Amino acid sequence: MEQPELWILTGCTAMGKTELSLRIAEKYSAEILSCDSRLVYRGMDIGTAKPLPEEQARVPHHGLDFCSISEQCDVDRYQRYALERIADIQYRGHPVLIVGGSGFYLQSFYKAVTDDIIISSGIREEVSELFRCRGLAGLREALLQLSPQTGTLDLRNPQRVMRALARCLASGQSIPELQRNFEMKASLFQSWRKRSCLLEREAENLQERAARRIDDMLAQGLVEEVRQLQRQGLNPNGPAGRSIGYRETLQWLQSGCRDEAILKAHILLHTKQLIHKQRSWFRHQIPIDRRLNLDQQSPDESFDILSAFFQYRAPCC
């Protein structure tokens, strides 16, 4: 039997995905699987615009709060989690509505985004020690001995050279061999049909919405939320602390500044940069079946268009 469809609703930050996704899920008795790398962290609520408790009560949500702020949640962990949740939701006979716009998380529904190579702690330490002692030049020399051909690898980027060297050491393969093997790898979700809609808005309006969202976050207590998380171990260099809104607030608190206008300006600047990056990413990285500009019709008209697009299709035998 062919797998049912996965519905995917995506778009840039501050787009307005939450309310539309709730209405669509309510209409079709769907359950929502978040595809946002920040919403996985417990306690990070205000700065991530996490669905409110009353919104989560309207529709079953998955993909929220399954990591502590001290944990690293990467795409591999997310894929394993998503596979379990999708199987459970569809076993119970409900459509799955995937909502969010985190790059690799979203891309993983269409193609492989990581390999299966296990990097031992010994190899990681060996590569790190080489970098400490001999710098980028030492990394490049060691990598070129294992793989004279490096393809499109940016040899000026120490982190990328370190990752490539570690994979060559762990696998015994050259970069071209690793690339060929990776290209043959299938997505864990290849057997599911997918139906995707990209929400869009005019650039000026989207930036205004982002600015209003930051005002709302500050009014709702973002600074105090970050203070509480800081006491629990949140720091700007950790996986959770690098999130936009949290990183800037941590730095602002550390500086001793108490002018929230400065904090807002920093968060807004990085949010605008994220929006620009997301717009470019959506153009090239995943298949989009439908584009919907929310500024060109009323909210009810947008809902009607999405309702017609996301119609339940029973799996074919």
Alpha-carbon torsion, ordered 282, 239, 213, 59, to 10 deg: 80
For helices 203-220 and 222-231, the axis angle rounded to 10 degrees is 60
Which residues contact residue 10 at a Cβ distance below 8 angstroms, ignoring those fewer than 6 apart?
17, 35, 98, 99, 100, 101, 106, 196, 197, 198, 199, 282, 286
Beta strands in the chain (DSSP E): 5-11, 31-34, 61-62, 96-99, 193-200, 290-293
Question: DSSP alpha helices (H): ranges in 260-298?
Answer: 260-284
Fold of domain 121-183: Histone, subunit A (1.10.20)
Q: What's at 305, amino acid-wise?
A: I
What is the model's pTM? Answer: 0.87
> Looking at residue 159, what is its pLDDT?
85
**Nearest C-alpha neighbor of 214 from the set 258, 250, 249:** 249
> Looking at residue 317, what is its pLDDT?
46
Note the CATH number of domain 5-113+194-309. 3.40.50.300
Tens-digit pLDDT string for the chain (317 aa): 456 799 999 999 999 999 999 999 999 999 999 999 999 999 999 999 999 999 999 999 999 999 999 888 888 899 999 999 999 999 999 999 999 988 889 999 998 887 878 889 999 999 999 999 999 999 999 999 999 999 889 999 988 899 899 999 999 999 999 988 888 888 889 889 999 999 999 999 999 999 999 999 999 999 999 999 999 999 888 889 999 999 999 999 999 998 999 999 999 999 999 999 999 888 888 899 999 999 999 999 999 999 999 986 655 54
Domain locations along the chain: 5-113+194-309, 121-183
> Looking at residue 182, what is its pLDDT?
83
Cα→Cα distances 272→11, 12, 210, Å: 14, 10, 8
Cα→Cα distances 312→24, 301, 307, Å: 11, 19, 10
